[in-house]
């Protein structure tokens, strides 16, 4: 995959995690493990792709 594709996919993962976190906090009043994992994975992937290219 191209570097631009990696950036878009990592940003999509990060955004999905943030939206899911907001939903979980509003609906269930507590964050879950899945949104936190998506946020961490998306952030790490984005930092890695920005530093690599």
Residue 1 has pLDDT above 90, yes or no: no
Domain span at residue 13? 3-52
Tell me what pLDDT residue 53 has: 64
Termini Cα distance of the chain: 12
Number of independent structural domains in the chain: 1
| Tokens 């631009």 -> residue | 4
**pLDDT tens readout for residues 9-37:** 999 999 999 999 999 999 998 888 999 99
User: Mean pLDDT, to the nearest integer, of 32-47?
Assistant: 92
Handedness of CA 23, 27, 30, 34 (dihedral sign): negative
- 39 to each of 5, 8, 28, how far by Cα in Å? 18, 14, 18
The two structure tokens encoding residue 8: 């878009």
């Amino acid at each position: 995959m191209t570097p631009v594709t990696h950036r878009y996919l990592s940003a999509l993962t990060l955004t999905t995690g943030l939206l899911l976190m907001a939903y979980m906090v509003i609906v269930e009043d507590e964050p879950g493990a899945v949104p936190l994992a998506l946020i961490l994975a998306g952030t790490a992937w984005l930092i890695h792709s920005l530093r690599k290219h």
